[in-house]
Structure 1
Amino acid sequence: MDLDALRVPPEIRNYAKIEDENVLLRLEKWKNKALDTLAKLQTRVEELAKLALKEQADVITAVAPLSAEADWVPEETRSKANEILDSAFPDPALALVTHILQHNVRPIFRTNAHPSVNLDTGRKLPRPAGGPFASQDFYDAQGWKDQPGAWMVVFWCVKNIPSGGYEEIWHLVIPPVMTLLDDYEPQYKLCGLKIAIAMLDHVPGSLLKRTGVDSLFSGALGRAILVLDAPETPILLPSTVSASLQLIKLTTEEESAERFNQLCALLGDSIVGSVWMYSSNRPDALLASIVALPPVFKMLRVGCARYLKVLVAQLVFPLAPLEYQHTTLELQLASLRALSALFDACPQRIRHWSGTILNAVARCWVGVVENPQGKHELRTELQNVCRSLAVVCPELLQTEYPQVTALDEKIFTQLFTSRI
């Protein structure tokens, strides 16, 4: 079985930056040959399922990288790769996953081990191997990057590990995941993050805590959330927040001080204190951080009261910015949705801020009425916020809402009457 045709060329790791026509032509030929090889494998799916363990592992290792959602993987190629994996190996045994991690994945990442991970146990080391400059050495000679798509093999394995199987192969899973998650290049951080998210759906929280990997994950996620200038930021930042919430949920008790403190660190230190502090000229990062807020509010609940002053100020700002300040429709929509989530999470403390919120919403509504082109969704979200605000502050229906409507019934009547 010719699997060499599926081997991803090392230079494809920088595919978006390649300008040499000869290299691009060679890569196109490889893509075509890989697609033909996958088409042949599709006709032999039943045979693949009957292969010996090592041969099955080699097939998965060759095919999995071509199932990635990457700019160098054509849609047809991705579709065929996924069909082969799903059809030939629908319910892989733990022995197969273990073999792949042990013999196909481990050699790729072993020469560039994460300094804080014990390679034999998967546990956190008490101090970085190699001394205080180990983190710099960790970024040297990263041979695993010459095998683009190798992370997809790890991803496939993690997706197919049952909850009860992690204990047995912990030492095989954690090293490559941490290598990816803590890499200095955002594109690899994102790959590691996708694996970590899949892992957190099934891994026992007790195992994360007992091995110290919870703190390794927490540290790596904290660093990932500060990647503000990369093309990956719009995806990386919300995904990092989502993974952080799942990690907190797995490793802390509900209603515990530990959970509250970790959630406050995520919202107060990472998002408000770091992302927002440095995002005045980084609109993509700011938008991504606001998109990520609703699930944080839902989990922190009334604890959001600690940050209401800064949260309300930031969320109403895009609705009615000053003349010399810029906003976008996407930022306005995300801010309105975050406001509604904040009302649900912290209804007891919203009344004090209702005037500030209503002022911004009314100003934004005037802009929509005066220039409605392409703003149907914004119009709906403004109405939703007014409805949600009236639920947590019902007295507004008798006070502020009629007062605002009286300013101009033609403009404001629909803002308050629709959907309330």
Structure 2
Amino acid sequence: MADELVQKLRVPVKFKAKTLDNNGLVEWNKAACNAVKELGKKHPLTADIIASVAALDGQEDWLVEETQQLAHDLLASTESNVETVISVLENNVKPLFLSNPHPQLNLSTGRVLSHPAGGDMASQDYYNDQTWKTHPGVDNIVSWCIRQLPPESYEQVWHLLTPPVMTFLDDYQAPYKLRGVRLVSELLQNVPSVVLKRTGVGQLLMTSLARVLTVLYDALTPRLIRSTVPVTLNLIDMITAPESAERFDQLCILLGESIIGGVWVYATHDEKTLEATMDVLPLILHALGIGSVRYLKALIPQCIYCITPNELRPSLHALEIASLRTLLAVIRECQPRMHRWKGAIIEGVGKFWVARCNKKEKNDDDDVLCDLVSDVFNSLSEACPAVSDNYALWSNFVCQDEYPRLLSTTAADALRNVIPC
């Protein structure tokens, strides 16, 4: 009886497709819901049952909310131990990845190999015969296993855990990379940093996460950027010492090579991707601190570019808001150098403000934009006190009697008097 119920929970291979038959989805979800309910009432949860239910505990296109919630509740009500996790990984997860083992991992220890198994071209063969892709939901099983492990148990299961995590992260398709980033994020919540360093997996993760940020011109690129950067920052904190040269170097690689030298160079006209980078840049700038000054020649012009009125492209309020927030973070983190950039900032934000003033239509984001422009000028005046008295810089864009109001404590109200909010 239990085996029959477990079979009803098996996720059909066709569910990995982007386009699904709605009728088939509804019927399968109904059967899965009934099976989960029956398993919760009558049967103890063995490792096989847990694996089948865990596959349904995630955000999937082929899952309805009721199915996912029932699976989540059943798993939450079940007491698990390390032995159960090992059984699930050993018997339900590992066999799916044996046909194409990760070339940079020792499958017996979970440690990083000094040379790729199979030679330099092994990475090409690695993408052949990906059996695990015929089992939708396997990442949810791995996710469940990660969440059950206390910190002291990671070494015991390291050789079972790292291969599927790295396989997802290093896949060539963006949807699987995104799932890999999620698994890494969960992994870093409890894994001891000493395990990451001793096994070499920490540096391997850094390399793979950097590779994720090279996936451009994909519908998932913005989500990949927003997900990957916070995980990368967390990893850097775990595998490097505070105030160390190694941490500084890793942060510079993330900002200078991945964002500025990568995304901004090759996706400069993709507004959604630019918006995603602007959303995460304040996190990087805060971590890098005053070290961000080495990138001012790229950061400030890019922020200004993203808010500069352009008749050839529509005004994207989300991009403007994100860019102003990044500019604000730049000013606050790099105060000692702002005297060299005050003119460019005043000119760029001034043109943006005047363009907003000239627009007659009201927008829901006007209040946010007003507050951000106010914060930018107030922060700039704190970094460069002379700015408060230098009306000449501002007089080209707005009447001189408006500039002091922009710097006052009621600057947001002053802006709202000019921009219809």
Fold-level match, TM-score > 0.5?
yes
Deviations 1:269-325 (A, max 9, x none): 111001100112322222111111011001111111100011000011122244435
Kindly indicate whether the alpha-carbon contact (under 8 Å) linking 1:298 and 1:344 is maintained by their aligned counterparts in 2: no
- Describe the shift of the 1:391–1:38 C-alpha distance in structure 2 as closer, same or farther (beyond 3 A): farther
Q: Which residue is 1:248 aligned to? A: 236
Indicate conservation of the 8 Å contact 2:105/2:163, yes or no. Answer: yes
Structure 1: how far apart are the matches of 2:67 and 2:382?
50
Residues 366, 411 of structure 1: 8 Å contact kept: no
Distance 2:131 2:392 in 1: 63
Q: Shift in Å at residue 38 of structure 1? A: 2.7
1:128 matched to 2:131: no
Which residue in the other structure is 2:288 paired with?
300
**Contact 1:318–1:328 (CA under 8 A) maintained in structure 2:** no
Post-superposition shift, 1:35? 2.1
Q: Secondary structure at the match of 2:120?
A: coil
Matched ranges for 1:223-262 at <5 A: 223-262=211-250
Q: Within the alignment, does 1:376 sit opposite 2:376 as a pair?
A: no
The reply to whether residue 288 of structure 1 matches residue 276 of structure 2 is yes
Alpha carbons of 1:324 and 1:412: their partners in 2 closer, same or farther (altered >3 Å)? farther
The residue type paired with residue 362 of structure 2 is Q
Q: CA RMSD in A?
A: 2.1
How many residues align? The count is 405
202-211 or 319-328, which moves further after superposition? 319-328
Q: How far off its partner does 1:404 sit?
A: 4.5
Match for 1:79: what amino acid? Answer: Q
Cα distance in 2, alignment partners of residues 301 and 102 from structure 1 = 44
- Report the residue type matching 2:33 in the other structure: L
Q: Which residue of 2 aligns with 1:26?
A: 24
Cα shift at 1:409: 5.7
For the residues of structure 2 that align with 1:309 and 1:94, how far apart are their CA atoms? 51
Change (3 A) 1:369 1:115: same
Kindly provide the amino acid, as one letter, of the partner of residue 379 in structure 1. Answer: C
Structure 2, gaps ≥5 residues long: 412-421
Q: Which residue of 1 aligns with 2:10?
A: 7
1:389 to 365, 380, 386: 380
Asked whether the equivalents of residues 354 and 398 of structure 2 are also in contact (C-alpha less than 8 Å), the reply is no
Residue number in structure 1 paired with 2:55: 65
Q: Output the CA distance in 1 between the equivalents of 2:269 and 2:305.
A: 15
How far the C-alpha of 1:12 sits from its partner, in A, is 0.4
Answer whether contact 2:388 2:404 (CA < 8 A) is retained: no
CA distance in structure 2 between the aligned counterparts of 1:402 and 1:355, rounded to whole angstroms: 7
Q: 1:81 aligns with which of 55, 67, 71?
A: 71
Shift of 1:152: 0.6
Task: Using the TM superposition, give the Cα deviation of residue 157 of structure 1 relative to its aligned residue in structure 2, in angstroms.
Answer: 0.9
Q: Closer, same or farther in 2 for the Cα pair 1:6/1:357, shift >3 Å? A: same
For residues 331-370 of structure 1, the C-alpha deviation after alignment (integer angstroms, 9 at most, x for no partner) is: 1011011112222322221221122112121221222222
2:352 counterpart residue number: 364
Alignment match, 1:166: 154
Deviates more, 1:189-198 or 1:369-378: 369-378
Cα shift at 1:125: 0.9
Q: Give, as a single letter, the amino acid of the residue that structure 2 aligns with 1:128.
A: P
- Pairwise CA distance, 1:151: 0.4
Q: Secondary structure at the match of 1:201?
A: helix
Work out the percentage of aligned pairs sharing the same amino acid: 37
Distance 1:214 1:307 in 2: 26
Equivalent-residue separation in structure 2 for 1:251 and 1:357 (angstroms): 36
Q: Equivalent residue of 1:67, what SS?
A: coil
Aligned equivalents of 2:92 and 2:301: distance in 1?
Answer: 52
Does the aligned pair in 2 maintain the 1:228–1:282 contact within 8 Å?
A: no
Aligned to 1:177: 165
- Secondary structure (helix, strand or coil) at the match of 1:66 reads coil
Please, what TM-score do these two structures have when normalized by structure 2? 0.90
* TM-score normalised according to structure 1 size: 0.90
Aligned residue for 1:292, secondary structure, equals helix
Aligned match for 2:87, one of 76, 99, 105 = 99
Check conservation: 2:109, 2:158, Cα contact below 8 A: yes
Shift of 1:244: 1.3
Which residue identity does 2:19 align to in structure 1?
K
Q: CA deviation at 1:37?
A: 2.2
